[in-house]
Amino acid sequence: MNVLVVGGAGYIGSHMVWALHQAGHRVVTFDNLSSGHRDAVLAGDVVLGDLADRVALERLFAHQRFDAVLHFASSIQVGESVREPLRYYQNNVANTLNLLEVMVRHRVLRLIFSSTAAIFGHPQTPLIAESHPQHPINPYGRSKWMVEQMLADADLAHGLRSVSLRYFNAAGADALGRIGERHEPETHLIPLVLQAASGRRTHIAVNGTDYDTADGTCVRDYIHVEDLAQAHLLALNQLCHADRSEAFNLGNGSGYSVAQVIASAQRVTGCPIDVTHGPRREGDPAVLVADSQRARDVLGWKPAYADLDTIVAHAWQWERQSLQS
């Protein structure tokens, strides 16, 4: 297949580009490199451009024929979305609308959308399944939820079939150390902890120790980025053969607290990690853990790297290589 990966130079997108290439697909990456990295795209062609630029999108779709689009280009920081909500609605919602309109006009009617567990808000059950009520509590979650509503309407009106993959906390790095997490600034817990272990940071700040959890710190479901990429490949296959829109939650089904992640990093690295404590971040629920049984049953998906120490070890390998480069 000819596949367009929007945001293919980013963390998850770059792993997806490589997985698509390994599976035999022809890949084109469309990215403005505002948060991605050109050298992270290990296969296929790269077209520099922005979803806000309708002319660039029209030119891309006019000159190349795509069988499907995978969409990873979005702003993703919960706290930032609370401070700058309009920016999130512009980038995540309005720019996605540009993409959908161009896709419909050029009759490219298959989309895999990078969604999020943040659409659910505060969990009402220990594990969050697809049927869980959707009440996002921050602009980031609301922006992704809005796109899912747009996709449902585009399916009914235009036959644009989509699969929304709602993942929990993407983590880890390519098992062979070729690509990994490189956000600037970094906001994700595991790389921040490992930067404290490597000496790139003096400490790790824990945001909130008074949550209603076993040790008072937030609990999250960490899923290896390569497992996410495999889920996207399976979803693409499902979309092509079943020809219907779907949504799946992706996680390991096991929650780990911030304190447990720090303990794992200390085990994996053998390095001391200085910890400081601060107030809660705005818009953060105490616990988010996935029920991914439907993805297992329908897609045949099974995470290969479910163990937290393995996820941390792959991220640590990437952190050490980053120090040497």
- Taking residue 83's Cβ as centre, other Cβ atoms within 10 Å add up to 11
CA distance 165 to 167: 6
Q: Is 177 left (phi over 0), alpha (psi -120 to 50) or beta?
A: left
- 181 Ramachandran zone, left/alpha/beta (phi>0; psi -120 to 50): beta
265 torsion bin: left (phi>0), alpha (psi -120 to 50), beta (else): alpha
- The structure tokens 């629920």 sit at 285
Asked if the bond preceding 185 is cis, omega within 30° of 0, the reply is yes
Strands (E), 45-157: 45-48, 68-71, 110-116
- Residues catalogued as catalytic: 140
Instruction: State the maximum Cα–Cα separation within the chain, in Å, rounded to a whole number.
Output: 56
Look at residues 151, 146, 130, 113 and name the one whose alpha carbon lies nearest to residue 12: 113
Q: Are 25 and 4 in contact (CB under 8 A)?
A: no
Cβ neighbourhood burial of 57 (10 Å; 0-12, 13-18, 19+)? buried
